[in-house]
A and B are shown apart, each in its own frame.
Chain A
């Protein structure tokens, strides 16, 4: 038994261009599902699809291409509701709904120096709905530009911006709430 030339070449290219992004795939899947087993299942399913559709990959950047598949796998298999929820939470222009109070409360920046800062940030991120969690992960952890986030999520650029804005605001509120709860000092 032998391996044919073209199959071998395809695997080489797939490994170099796509398989290399397995950590990004797992990290996004884990933040979406918050469950390691589900995240592994999603990653495996996503790679199967990526391999199947690899002939259609035109050498653009592998990471956004793969993450798009990961994210679609999550929404179609696990959470058809989530996209609808994000839209309804966000029905109007997200920029206008944020009212900046005179007394803004404790700044979460102090979490950078606190011993349990990491835990609070991760717990707070976990409380956000998936659509808002994912956009923060894509922007801050994957460092994707807005246009790449638009590619991964399939959202128009304007929505990427407003959803990211809203997501940051939600995380800020969640952090302030948990800081008050744990008695962190006002800064």
Chain B
């Protein structure tokens, strides 16, 4: 083997990427050739320095939280929710019973909150935020006719700093829901709306989950969840303004 043949393989020798026969041939040349030996040494030293001293940066905790929010489901709560789904398919009485249990066991609601945060995060993917992109409530609201069997209230709040961006159908926990999309500066606020079979009225409550904020309430036969990474006071302001909007048709 001569220099011209050995030079391209010196790196592979450092990296152990050749079979025994080829390695031995290259090594034999390197041992005998001062120029190629220096070349081998250069490659080896750089490899060593990289491995010993170059930084390997782990994903920061906030990023990990966001990734887990989008992609990880907590399995231990799933069993309960599966059961509650079975119960809710039965008669109203049984559903009320399940609801009673639901209220006293936090895990089902946690599961739902996680699902909503995941849906929110996935909606931020380019092209996935709106099915109907319009800042006009008179375009967005009727878009839902025939697509869902309820009428999500749509309010324009541009003057308050929350422009309407559009709407879409989303699929959360096995159910089709309406999503109204609002903006706040660089943040997105998703308002998920679905029917509330119990026709309860519940005042807004807030919670935070994995760096995201949620405000939820129900009235007029609908259940609302506002989800955003905007600060909680901002989200709560938004919710007050949104709730003050025109009553559902």
Query: Distance (Å) between the CB of A27 and the closest chain B CB?
Result: 5
Per-residue B-contact encoding for A28-48, CB less than 8 Å = 1, 0 else? 001000001000100110011
Q: Which of B53-61, B145-153, B234-242 contacts A (4 or more CB under 8 A)?
A: B53-61
A145 to B18, CA, bound (A): 11
A118 to B56, CA, bound (A): 12
Assess whether A25 is in contact with B59, with CB atoms less than 8 Å apart: yes
Q: Which of A15, A140, A145 contacts B50 (CB 8 A)?
A: A140
In the complex, chain B residues whose CB is within 8 Å of the CB of A27: 56-58
Bin chain B's interface residue count: 35 or more
Assess whether B71 is in contact with A117, with CB atoms less than 8 Å apart: no
Query: Distance (Å) between the CB of B208 and the closest chain A CB?
Result: 19
In the complex, chain B residues whose CB is within 8 Å of the CB of A169: 42-43, 46
A40 to B172, CA, bound (A): 26
Assess whether B50 is in contact with A43, with CB atoms less than 8 Å apart: no
Per-residue A-contact encoding for B46-79, CB less than 8 Å = 1, 0 else? 1111111111111110011011101111010010
Assess whether B56 is in contact with A2, with CB atoms less than 8 Å apart: no
Assess whether A168 is in contact with B46, with CB atoms less than 8 Å apart: yes
Query: Distance (Å) between the CB of A92 and the closest chain B CB?
Result: 13
In the complex, chain B residues whose CB is within 8 Å of the CB of A109: 45, 48-49
Assess whether A112 is in contact with B53, with CB atoms less than 8 Å apart: yes
Query: Distance (Å) between the CB of A46 and the closest chain B CB?
Result: 10
Q: Give how many A-B residue pairs fall within 8 Å (CB-CB).
A: 157
A104 to B230, CA, bound (A): 57
In the complex, chain B residues whose CB is within 8 Å of the CB of A15: 71-72
> For chain A residues 61-90, which have a beta carbon within 8 Å of chain B?
none
In the complex, chain A residues whose CB is within 8 Å of the CB of B53: 111-112, 117-118, 121-122
Query: Distance (Å) between the CB of B63 and the closest chain A CB?
Result: 5
> For chain A residues 1-55, which have a beta carbon within 8 Å of chain B?
1-4, 8, 11-12, 14-15, 19, 22-23, 25-27, 30, 36, 40, 43-44, 47-48, 51-52
Q: Which 7 A-B pairs have the closest CB atoms?
A: A1-B173, A140-B50, A26-B59, A2-B85, A121-B53, A168-B46, A165-B11
Q: Which residues of A contact B (CB under 8 A)?
A: 1-4, 8, 11-12, 14-15, 19, 22-23, 25-27, 30, 36, 40, 43-44, 47-48, 51-52, 93, 95-96, 98, 100, 104, 107-109, 111-112, 117-118, 121-122, 125, 136-137, 139-141, 145-146, 161-162, 164-165, 168-169, 171-172, 175
